[in-house]
Amino acid sequence: MTDMLSFNAVVHARPKHAHLDAGPSLRGLLIQRLETGGDVVGPGFPRSFEEVGESLETLERMFFEPDGSFVWVGSAEGQAWQLDGLLADRAGRLLYVELKGRCPPEVLDRILATFGRPEHGLMFQLVREAVFLDESEFRKYAAAGD
């Protein structure tokens, strides 16, 4: 049986000055959160909305709308998975991506690759918990399930 990640997050480019700090217990795990030092939520991604949209459209079973909303569905070892999302841009760059659903880790890898890798990595804002995590802590959280 395939391991699944389960999450509801907003994916940002990680700001240069973000640092790890002791965090709350989430899903029964001690998680280190990212501190951004204020309202800064990242510099945006190295790709444009249009470039990311074109990359998303190349994924099999991806349904992408011109407004930036998308649904990607599939199955792995008989388990159905689905990701729902929305691209947001500003000043010609992808600013952030709302992303929620349940999928295997390799599916998350594929969709994150379409956004481009920011210089300082990724930052994940958990919607319900209102905390920021780096990628490794996010994956630990997402693997713990609902």
- Please report, for the chain, the start and end positions of each structural domain, with discontinuous segments joined by +: 21-136
Residue 16: per-residue pLDDT: 87
Residue 39: per-residue pLDDT: 63
Residue 11: per-residue pLDDT: 97
Give 12's pLDDT tier (boundaries 50, 70, 90): very high
Q: What is the pLDDT of residues 56-89, one digit of tens each?
A: 999 999 999 999 999 999 999 889 999 999 999 9
Please give the distance of CA 127 from its chain centroid, rounded to a whole number.
11
Question: How many CA atoms lie within 13 Å of 4's alpha carbon, on the beta-carbon side?
Answer: 19
Residue 145 has pLDDT above 90, yes or no: no
Q: What percent of the chain has pLDDT over 70?
A: 95
Residue 99 has pLDDT above 60, yes or no: yes
Closest CA to 42 of 116, 108, 101: 116
